[in-house]
Amino acid sequence: MDPSGSLTSNITKFESSGSPSLQFNNLSHSVERGSVAYVHGTQVLIQGLHGQRFKKKIPLRDDNCDVASASFVCLHGVELLVIASSIGIQIWSADGGTMKYFAPISTFIPLPVGVTEDAYSEEFMQGIAGTMSGHVFVGTSRGNIEVFRQKDDYSDIIYEKKTYLGGSPGSPSEMIPVSAVAASSTTMVYGNECGDLVFFEISSDFERGFKLKGNGVCCTSIVIKSDVVAAGFSNGLIRFYRAQVQECIFEIAAHSRAVYGLSLDKDANIMASCSEDQLVSIWSFPDFTARGNSECSLISSHRMMDRIITGVAIVEGTTDIIVAAYDDDMLYTLSLQ
């Protein structure tokens, strides 16, 4: 993708299997399959792009569950589709044809003695990230991250551990729902509904970490490259952090309303953002290892009139940006030219 271009006003659109739900980060792109996945009500839909106009509904175990997140992750070079919901976690092959793993939410959030299972209606899993080394991270409504790992022989997925920072799991200070998760080869970071960001070193087996306190504004989306983190918030700000120095470097007033999604092309150092304010924006992504390239500059923006944009995905290796909008049966392709 050329970082000096602008978003064309010529929009390609194609009919989807159903309109995306009003949720943060409600669009994920599969490089391997050339498709996107998103949440549609109580369903997860996979939609083919370009010449592959296939459509598929993932057959979830409970059609009445509340699906919070659906995201492709790449483990050991193979993509999988992870679904987080009110009934637990499911991991599928990228084409949606085979379920590789399922665990009910009771595995991660045990109920106190004497409390009925109806209490689970208030619990959920949300926020998904993965690493090439085989880890999958999923957030919960209790404010912690559940860690899964694909075995070294690339076969089964196993539940590894629960991570939390300070206090004890389930303590009142830690029970702020996770809202977004991202990971690089060295760092896992998650944000919560109060805007806190929590960082963990993957090499420390998630024992070493730190928290950067928020200001009560929900963190809606996170992308990461190396130790540089960009986080979107419900007040329209995007903040940039460096895990190495454990602080916020700068922030930009990216949108006038909530940031609904971020997407990063790591090779081109280009980031896309979308918002409730109807804007899709393209930004240069700061690279603190390259002199003179440590700022985030606006490259181009395009307004999608009368639409609430719920997800954006840069198609790596192309000039295309896929856009999804709430209550809209069309998906859109913008081009950076």
Q: How confident is the model at residue 231 (pLDDT cuts 50, 70, 90)?
A: very high
31: CATH: 2.120.10.30
Residue 294 forms part of a structural domain: no
pLDDT in tens, 27-39: 999 988 888 999 9
DSSP per residue, 63-102: TTS-EEEEEEEEETTEEEEEEEETTEEEEEETTSS-EEEE
Place of tokens 């998904």: 128
Q: Which domain holds residue 89?
A: 24-262
In the sheet that holds 178-183, the strands lie side by side as 178-183, 187-192, 197-201, 209-212
- At 219, which amino acid appears? C
Residues 6+ apart with CB under 8 A from 311: 20, 25, 26, 27, 28, 38, 260, 261, 274, 323, 324
Model confidence at 277: pLDDT above 80: yes
Residue 141 forms part of a structural domain: yes
Residue 296 forms part of a structural domain: no
- At 57, which amino acid appears? K
Residue 154 forms part of a structural domain: yes
Give the count of domains, the chain.
1
Looking at residue 115, its pLDDT comes to 59
Residue 273 forms part of a structural domain: no
DSSP per residue, 211-274: EE---SPPEEEEEEETTEEEEEETTSEEEEEETTTTEEEEEEE--SS-EEEEEEETTTTEEEEE
- Chain center to CA of 110: 25
Residue 108 forms part of a structural domain: yes
Residue 54 forms part of a structural domain: yes
Model confidence at 69: pLDDT above 90: yes
- Chain center to CA of 227: 17
Residue 17 forms part of a structural domain: no
Looking at residue 74, its pLDDT comes to 92
Looking at residue 199, its pLDDT comes to 93
Distance CA 191, CA 127 (A): 9
Can you tell me whether residue 118 is helix, strand or coil? helix
- Segment 196-208 shows an average pLDDT of 85
